[in-house]
Amino acid sequence: MSGGIDSSATCIMLQEQGYEVVGVTMRTWDVPSRFSTPGQNEPDDVLEARALAERLGIEHHVADVRKEFKQIIVKHFIDEYMQGRTPNPCVLCNPLFKERILCEWADQTNCAHIATGHYCRLEERKGKLYIVAGDDQTKDQSYFLWKLPQEILQRFLFPLGTYTKQEVREYLRQKGFEAKARGGESMEICFIEGDYRDFLRAQCPDIDAQVGPGWFVNSKGVKIGQHKGFPYYTIGQRKGLEIALGHPAYVLRINAEKNTVMLGDAEELKTEYMLVEDYHITDMQELLDCKDLAVRIRYRSKPIPCHVLVLNEKQLLIRFLSEASAIAPGQSAVFYEGKRVLGGAFIASQRGIRKMAADNQDKL
């Protein structure tokens, strides 16, 4: 229970469906703006969730997991940027942290199921459960859940999967929660306010001394200007480069070892192939046989039709069947058949991708 619109609607719906609901609010990271009253000891989301639980007459707990969250999720976020990658902490947080802790609390409180306010659904095929994108395409969160194992999916309930955000707001109004229905949206990354670069500096005060300025280079490796340090840039970035070249420039590649950031034009961002690693596929044979396989390479992006080749136990080579651009190592590649998630992987370094593609062209 985050105290927000979606988790509140989830609680009310489950109660109406006859479930005995136990609420758990995770205190993961104290963002200053969530302490709206001077001297407040707990963030607003905890207070709002507790107030809702009291109004609904349900048992409520606060799981203070701030230390563990910093050691696992925040550390990974920082480590990824320090390796020149672009992390997606929500993808890691769901299986390693949020849903794992929910299952632990469910066991402690004798609950058979866990439920969240994600906009997605579950579908069973041949004895296996699959995440299915929610009906509200603007709020669909299936992209973030590809790493969830079957043992967690078997306990999951997703009450909001067939609703749009507007319908959820209207539902809350009808149930007498007018103020809650008017609530704002939560941040995409729950522990960051503003620019992630400021967050990196706050968590790593010596980052500028440790990394320091480096060189912008062109696709031929020629130095064309100085930058502030590779962790402050992401693949595909155009704004905020603070370099005048007389034409639009985009980040093509980041080399953490040399502290260089390669710039080029939009055409140079395009690619036909992609290497991914650490994949989690529900049924590999089904994925390989899928006639309408598509992959999303970032949240909010449209699925791109593709073919997949298994290179080894850790890596897959992807061939795009339509235009793909700005492949960012560290982000997730999530495979779909229509709305159904077949699995996912982390986008790997694309260094050497052309040779790899040439060596395997006949197989793709």
What is the rounded CA–CA span in Å between residue 172 and residue 124?
Answer: 30
1 has binding-site annotation:
no
187 has binding-site annotation:
no
Residue 93 catalytic?
Answer: yes
Q: Which of 274, 203, 202 is nearest to 235 (CA)?
A: 274
The length of the chain in residues reads 364
Residue 120 catalytic?
Answer: no
Of 11, 90, 190, 290, which is the active-site residue?
Answer: 190
Of 93, 111, 120, 290, which is the active-site residue?
Answer: 93
Q: Could you tell me which residues are annotated as the binding site?
A: 26, 117
Q: List residues with catalytic annotation.
A: 93, 190
Q: Could you tell me which residues are annotated as the binding site for ATP?
A: 26, 117
